[in-house]
Amino acid sequence: MVSGKWHWGLNYMFLHFGWKTAMGITLSTFVYYLFFYKELKVLSKKFSRIRLKEHLQRTYFRREHLAAELDKMDEIILDLGFHETWAKKCNEIKENIRKRIQSDFKADEHIDDALFNEVFEERFDEVRIQEMRKNLPGLLPKEKRVEIIDPDWDTRQDPVPAWVMAVHVVFLAWTVLNAHHTALFVAGLLFFIGFSMATAPFQNNLALKSPLLVGFFLSGLVIHGGLQAWWIAPILGSLKSFPLMLAATILTAFNDNAAITYLSSLVPNFSPALKYAVVSGAVTGGGLTVIANAPNPAGQAILKKYFENNNVSPAGLFKAALVPTIVMFLILILIFG
């Protein structure tokens, strides 16, 4: 949001922010490691058991081997006579419905019996197939079954092939290198979507909802962000370094750090010290709430399944992020600022 306007390159960011934030992350992680040492020790035992289960699954209970055996389910169903039983029951239901409907047309001399039977047979087969797709798909011919989307597909333990991961890294590098070249970026995105669809059996489902929402948010910020300048810009422009960083940290929790940095770029005559302070505040407060940083919703979508009711508590997130926020604040402005 500010690198182009303030001419901050990679070297500047690393020398003024990169190594300091790395130190803050390391120190905060170590503090939480000491605080949750007992809990982590219990989790390590559970993790060892999970790793053993994964090893057994990969070695002795491979998905494709079990699927090959269970793929004979059609033959088993045929041998058990389910098709004949269901066909007989369908014929009974069909005849009962036919008689009930046909009685309504006895008084209508313009209804031809052959036409009536033809229309009834077509409509009954149409509805029967629809209902069987929902409730009894295994009794339908394979060409009439709908494609099943496994709700537990992303939780499987099968390893992703190395070549698939390598292609993901290539797409990631392409995106970073061409982030400011729209045509190349969009072309890479389209090829990535195509690759993900073509290799769907080897990786998790492609989740586009959260990234698209983040992208729309940032687009809206650039297009409409200036409309917020009437109240945020005077606040940012009237503060000294320390209160400015504190205000940026607090405002970030409720407005997103990209919004704070973008609006700060609209303030004229910002000194280098004030620029450093506002960006430091935006970096510091980026973890206090879900909306404080654009990638946070994507991270919550990945991790929420490990929380009660599949939801991350906003108050719990704020309390958990408070100590790292204070650590980062102290490192960025009081010690090295």
> Which stretch of 44-58, 184-198, 272-286 has the lowest confidence by average pLDDT?
44-58
pLDDT at residue 166 greater than cutoff 90: yes
In sequence order, what DSSP letters do the residues of 232-276 get, joined into one string? HHHHHHT--HHHHHHHHHHHHHHH-HHHHHHHHHTSTT--HHHHH
What percent of the chain is predicted at pLDDT more than 70?
A: 96
Residue 147 or 33, more confident: 33
Q: What is the mean pLDDT of the chain?
A: 83
**Tokens representing 271?**
């000194």
How is residue 18 annotated by DSSP?
I
The structural domains of the chain, with segments of one domain joined by +, span 3-22+222-335, 69-144, 161-202
CA–CA dist 44, 52 (Å, integer): 12
What pLDDT does residue 337 have? 52
- Tell me the mean pLDDT in the region 73-94: 81
pLDDT at residue 109 greater than cutoff 60: no
- Tell me the mean pLDDT in the region 159-185: 91
pLDDT at residue 145 greater than cutoff 90: no
Query: What confidence category does residue 106 fall into, taking pLDDT thresholds of 50, 70 and 90?
Result: low
CA–CA dist 226, 285 (Å, integer): 21
Query: What confidence category does residue 73 fall into, taking pLDDT thresholds of 50, 70 and 90?
Result: confident
CB neighbour class for 299 (10 Å; exposed up to 12, middle 13-18, buried from 19): middle
Q: Decide: helix, strand or coil at residue 214.
A: helix
Dump pLDDT digits (tens) for 206-239: 888 877 877 887 788 777 766 777 777 787 778 8
CB neighbour class for 241 (10 Å; exposed up to 12, middle 13-18, buried from 19): middle
Q: Does pTM surpass 0.75?
A: no
- Residue 240: left (phi > 0), alpha (psi -120 to 50), or beta? beta
CB neighbour class for 140 (10 Å; exposed up to 12, middle 13-18, buried from 19): middle
